[in-house]
Amino acid sequence: MILVVNTGSSSIKVAIFDDALQQRLSGAADGIGAAAGGLKVGEVTREAQFANHVAALQAVLEQLEAQGFPVSRLRATAHRVVHGGARLTEPVRIDDAVVAEIARCNPLAPLHNPHNLAAINALRDLAPDLAHFASFDTAFHATNPPVATTYAVPPAITERGIRRYGFHGISYASLTRALPGIAGGTLPRRVLAFHLGNGASLCAIRDGRSVATTMGYSPLSGLTMGTRTGDIDGNAVLRMAEEDGIDAAARLLNHESGLTGLSGVGPDMRTLLGDSSPEAAFAVDHFCYWARRHAGSMIAAMEGVDALAFTGGIGENATTVRARIMEGLEWTGLVPDANAAGAARLHAPGSSVGAWVVPAAEERMIAADAAALLDADA
């Protein structure tokens, strides 16, 4: 059994996978550090208060044991870590050197890495005899060429770590692994992948490797997102920081913009599609327009396209959004056909470009990474 751990600032999500990579149990602890929180593992749900991540993990492990999954049954724990920087570019077994390197990446992902690291350190203390592994959201994009990752700034700035990294890499790695089975053949040579959710990005995948992606130094750039702006001119950011202050500008760009800022309603695409206001309609238009526009850039980066693949909450479920994106890409030779909820194939039989829905399976991918490293060690 492998325990997969996905840690946020105030929550910890877990899943148990068996040796066949089938999920056996899932759960979450939330409200960490707050006055009130909750614990849900399998069918058990209760209110709880967690002073910190260590207390939350202890509660999760106790409930896992109560449901037949004690630490003694685990082969390993496997953690999602948002940022691996320029050095951690593949899944790794965690040791003190890896912990130190993740900590060095904290300035690159201050809202994520410190919390990922808190769970890693806590579990290493709580279960010191277990093997511990990490998979990185940035790692899949390490194959991008330097011309794609380097900003046009002096080398001294690049050496400070200011460059494009890209994110959602675990999702794209999972998509690349799953698509051949869904499509019934080998992986298409040039895949344009859409990870569409509250956070959204595109990835150009050529011969199974990322060659370009829309997110950059942080998850802020690229597409219109649930609360993030997507691409915005740097001088506009400087003006907002000067007039409103850095903290206010950062809050606006990351938490008050995107679909939320445009609509005044919120980030949920289902709500927006059911809202008759012109603001909600414009927010959806904006999302679809920038997805199509960035798609052209990704297609240029891999010099053509053989297949589209949609994943994430919006990508898998918002048929209207998928249809509008595909309609804007018919010039590629794509002939859209079935687009009903639950349909895997989205293209007509004669289409020269395929289009598919690929269910998100990031936790399974993290478990697979850990299993592969365990097998290699053996």
What pLDDT is attached to residue 341? 67
Class of domain 184-362 as given by CATH: alpha beta
DSSP string covering 145-214? -HHHH--SS-HHHHTTT-S-----HHHHHHHHHHHHHHHTSSPPSEEEEEEESSSEEEEEEETTEEEEES
Six token digits for residue 180: 């051949």
pTM more than 0.85: yes
* pLDDT for 107: 87
Query: Is residue 137 flagged as an active site residue?
Result: yes
- What pairing do the DSSP bridges indicate for beta strands 307-311 and 354-357? parallel
Residues of the chain with CATH 3.30.420.40: 2-136, 184-362
Rounded to a whole number of angstroms, the CA Rg of the chain reads 21
Q: What is the pLDDT of residue 264?
A: 95
Q: Which of 18, 95, 129, 137 is catalytic?
A: 137
- Residues 6 or more apart whose Cβ sits within 8 Å of residue 298: 192, 202, 203, 204, 212, 213, 214
Q: Any idea which architecture 2-136 has in CATH? A: 2-Layer Sandwich (3.30)
Per-residue pLDDT of the chain (378 residues; tens, 9 = 90+): 999 999 887 788 999 999 999 999 999 988 888 877 888 998 888 888 888 888 888 888 888 988 889 888 899 999 999 999 999 999 999 999 999 999 999 888 887 898 899 899 988 988 888 999 999 999 999 999 999 999 999 999 999 999 999 999 999 999 999 999 999 999 999 999 999 999 999 999 999 999 999 999 999 999 999 999 999 999 999 999 999 999 999 999 999 999 999 999 999 999 999 999 999 999 999 999 999 999 999 999 999 999 999 999 999 999 999 999 999 999 999 999 877 767 899 999 999 999 999 999 999 999 999 999 998 877
